[in-house]
Structure 1
Amino acid sequence: METQGNTSGSASGNRVLPSIVYKLMIVAATVIWGLSFVVMKDAVDVLPPSYLIGVRFLSCGLILAVIFFKKLRAHFDRGHIVNGCFLGLLIYLAFWIQTIGLTDTTPGKNAFLTATYCVLVPFIWWFIARKRPTVYNIAAAVLCIAGVGLVSLQGSFSMRFGDYMTLLCALVFAVHIVYVAKLSEGRDILVLTVWQFLFGGVCGMVVGACFEAFPPVEVLLDPAFLFNMAYLVIFASCVALVFQNVALAHVPPAQGSLFLSLESVFGVLFSVALYGEELTFKLVAGFCLIFVAILVSEMFPLKGKKQLAEEPAGEAPPIEELRDYEAREFGDGGVRAAARAEE
């Protein structure tokens, strides 16, 4: 399978891995975030939302700045700084708006409405990158949303202020996913990620200082809170969000958003394992729909690609047609595959 995505790997001198590796990175991130639902619930009871995001992102940014200091120094330029800060603003706004929405809706509806970014991403990618979504993108997104609905929703579905804020949050998350793929072209995604965390953390601290009360220091020194923050900073941010950004630089955004929707599945599974939530038929049906959505996204476009590539020599499509198909389905990674086919 050809590596999908943009040229950021080669442009920055990083090794480009097989596509399956980047998809597994997204899955690993969703497992970590699934457990973070449990952790975040306790942490936000101690530290207000903006301060929580600020401390989490700023701590993560400083840790990554030390780890990737050589990369930061090598790419200390306006393009990386400005674009990284723009990504930081988007990710801060997404988390902040999601937290506001959660104050006026149920956790299940919050998770479901946030996951609607699966439907939004292909169309935002079309608008920004001029790459039209395929019928498989749209079908997979609809199946995914249906699955997340079965997993997340309980009872009635009347809309409240918190629900509308969560929909806005889903839009911002979708824009962030698309711009990670777009802005990583020709740039080092790890450097962009460091600047994203640093600027997102500063935004959280500034908003928190203006509108929130900082808790007493002795409360912050509680071992349980420190453990929760360590998990959020090291695993849910340093590891999971780095995995997400690196993977989205090499996986088409529409496909990446479907893999990210697994977060809701793992969130429920951890709830079943740790809090005794009942594993119902509805939950299992939702899991199956999400799995089918990912299979549709993975298998059907690849089948079309294989059919084009394996036609008899006398009836083979012109190389420009193959290149156009690759670009439409798989982005710049597909263009590189078509170029290799031409050779």
Structure 2
Amino acid sequence: MNRLRADLLLLAVSVIWGTAFIAQKHGNAAMGPISFVGARFLVSWAALLPLALFESKRARSALKIEDIGLAGLIGLCLFSGSTLQQIGLVATTATNAGFLTALYVILLPFIVWMITGARPRPMVLIASVISIAGAWLLTEQGRFEGWNSGDGLVLISDIAWATGISLVPIFLKRANRPFFLAFAQYGVAATLGVLGGLGFESFSLEGVATALPAILYAGLLSGGVAFTLQIVAQKYTPPAEAGLIMSLESVFAALAGAALLSERLSGPAIMGCVLILLGVALAEVGPAMRNIKLRTAKRAPTAPSANAPWQGGASRIGFLRKDFEPPTEARNN
């Protein structure tokens, strides 16, 4: 796989996530938010079991304890981000939640810098600001509807989302087991969600039955397909750029609302979609120009590619303290 195909996978991810918001709201109406998170990722975990087993049989080496620990940490980020967002959706408006969720894009370059020592490209920072401006215009005429506890939870969830996305390529560099990582993170999220739901929320089979379509959609498509495609693609697309592409989720959510719910797209909302698309395009300019030069010169690069999310030094955090040399596949795209 090359960078272009990876970016197209991330585009597909944003389409699926953009249409999953309706399912999440429906799930909250039928059952507790933590229980819904546990149920959806239990479905995702079961869906990935065959692929994880197949990958395990073909693996050339066994996983190390630190690899399993890193996969568990990424699963904890997934659970934290999903749960905080799902609980926040109970109290906040769709307008506020859409903008606040998009803020993880601006956090990503700095969290990657903190973890790996790789300084963000100036163009990525500019593209992130442009995309955030677009997300703002996708709200009600650029208007933030007050502030409550739900907004705070959605905002905190951005830290978990950005951290998880930043850690994925580090795991893939070490273990190159994307299906195991997906399987493991779904298992962690499902276990914590089920236990948390049973401990803090009321449970009823009737509520589960009512929310079943939403659980299956979120579990199979948003989870089993989209989160797995994200992991596979992040072997080739750096975290900050990946986050920008996935921010198109806001655009597809707006388009889905207009197509399926007869919601009208205002002039500012259309301009917001254009700005987000512009931000994504700007982030892709650098890698595209480098690839054109490489093809013109007809020679392989002699230095680590700037596409590699871990370029720029060693990790500064605990057991992640290793030099991150980009794999051959990432250099030759």
**TM-score in terms of structure 2 length:** 0.85
For residues 132 and 256 of structure 1, the distance between their equivalents in structure 2, rounded to whole angstroms, comes to: 16
SS of the equivalent of 2:29 reads coil
Q: Does 1:194 align with 2:183?
A: yes
Contact 1:136/1:301, CA 8 A, preserved across alignment? no
1:232 pairs, out of 209, 218, 221, with 218
SS of the equivalent of 2:306 reads helix
Identify if the C-alpha distance between structure 1 residues 28 and 182 changes in structure 2 by more than 3 Å, giving closer, same or farther: same
RMSD between aligned alpha carbons?
A: 2.9
Contact 1:132/1:328, CA 8 A, preserved across alignment? no
Report the CA distance between 1:25 and its aligned residue.
1.0
Identify if the C-alpha distance between structure 1 residues 335 and 243 changes in structure 2 by more than 3 Å, giving closer, same or farther: closer
For residues 330 and 253 of structure 2, the distance between their equivalents in structure 1, rounded to whole angstroms, comes to: 39
For residues 39 and 338 of structure 1, the distance between their equivalents in structure 2, rounded to whole angstroms, comes to: 35
Residue 258 of structure 1 corresponds to 244
For residues 278 and 44 of structure 1, the distance between their equivalents in structure 2, rounded to whole angstroms, comes to: 24
Q: How does 1:135-174 map to 2 (within 5 A)?
A: 135-154=122-141, 155-156=143-144, 158-174=146-162
Report the CA distance between 1:247 and its aligned residue.
1.0
Letter in 2 for 1:192: L
Residue 262 of structure 2 corresponds to 276
- Any gaps of 5 or more consecutive residues in structure 2? 312-323
Report the CA distance between 1:34 and its aligned residue.
1.5
Q: Does 1:51 align with 2:35?
A: yes
Letter in 1 for 2:26: D
Q: How does 1:1-343 map to 2 (within 5 A)?
A: 17-72=1-56, 74=59, 75=62, 77-154=64-141, 155-156=143-144, 158-187=146-175, 188-215=177-204, 217-222=205-210, 225-303=211-289, 323=303, 326=306, 331=311, 336=328
Identify if the C-alpha distance between structure 1 residues 71 and 114 changes in structure 2 by more than 3 Å, giving closer, same or farther: same
Contact 2:96/2:144, CA 8 A, preserved across alignment? no
- Any gaps of 5 or more consecutive residues in structure 1? 1-16, 312-318
For residues 278 and 246 of structure 1, the distance between their equivalents in structure 2, rounded to whole angstroms, comes to: 35
SS of the equivalent of 2:138 reads helix
Report the CA distance between 1:324 and its aligned residue.
5.8
Report the CA distance between 1:234 and its aligned residue.
1.2
For residues 339 and 160 of structure 1, the distance between their equivalents in structure 2, rounded to whole angstroms, comes to: 46
For residues 335 and 249 of structure 1, the distance between their equivalents in structure 2, rounded to whole angstroms, comes to: 9
Contact 1:80/1:191, CA 8 A, preserved across alignment? no
Letter in 1 for 2:157: C
For residues 174 and 30 of structure 1, the distance between their equivalents in structure 2, rounded to whole angstroms, comes to: 15
Contact 2:39/2:193, CA 8 A, preserved across alignment? yes
For residues 82 and 252 of structure 1, the distance between their equivalents in structure 2, rounded to whole angstroms, comes to: 22
Contact 1:47/1:214, CA 8 A, preserved across alignment? yes
Report the CA distance between 1:194 and its aligned residue.
0.5
Tell which deviates more after alignment, 71-80 or 251-260.
71-80
Letter in 2 for 1:97: L
Report the CA distance between 1:79 and its aligned residue.
3.8
Letter in 2 for 1:229: I
Report the CA distance between 1:98 and its aligned residue.
1.2
Identify if the C-alpha distance between structure 1 residues 46 and 339 changes in structure 2 by more than 3 Å, giving closer, same or farther: closer
For residues 115 and 198 of structure 1, the distance between their equivalents in structure 2, rounded to whole angstroms, comes to: 26
Contact 2:100/2:151, CA 8 A, preserved across alignment? yes
Letter in 2 for 1:210: G
Report the CA distance between 1:310 and its aligned residue.
6.4
For residues 209 and 226 of structure 2, the distance between their equivalents in structure 1, rounded to whole angstroms, comes to: 25
Deviations 1:127-158 (A, max 9, x none): 11111011101000000100111113453454
For residues 307 and 82 of structure 2, the distance between their equivalents in structure 1, rounded to whole angstroms, comes to: 32
Contact 2:78/2:161, CA 8 A, preserved across alignment? yes
Letter in 1 for 2:280: I
Identify if the C-alpha distance between structure 1 residues 104 and 307 changes in structure 2 by more than 3 Å, giving closer, same or farther: same
Contact 2:244/2:279, CA 8 A, preserved across alignment? yes
For residues 219 and 292 of structure 1, the distance between their equivalents in structure 2, rounded to whole angstroms, comes to: 42
Contact 2:95/2:144, CA 8 A, preserved across alignment? no
% identical aligned pairs: 28
Tell which deviates more after alignment, 139-148 or 184-193.
184-193
SS of the equivalent of 2:303 reads helix
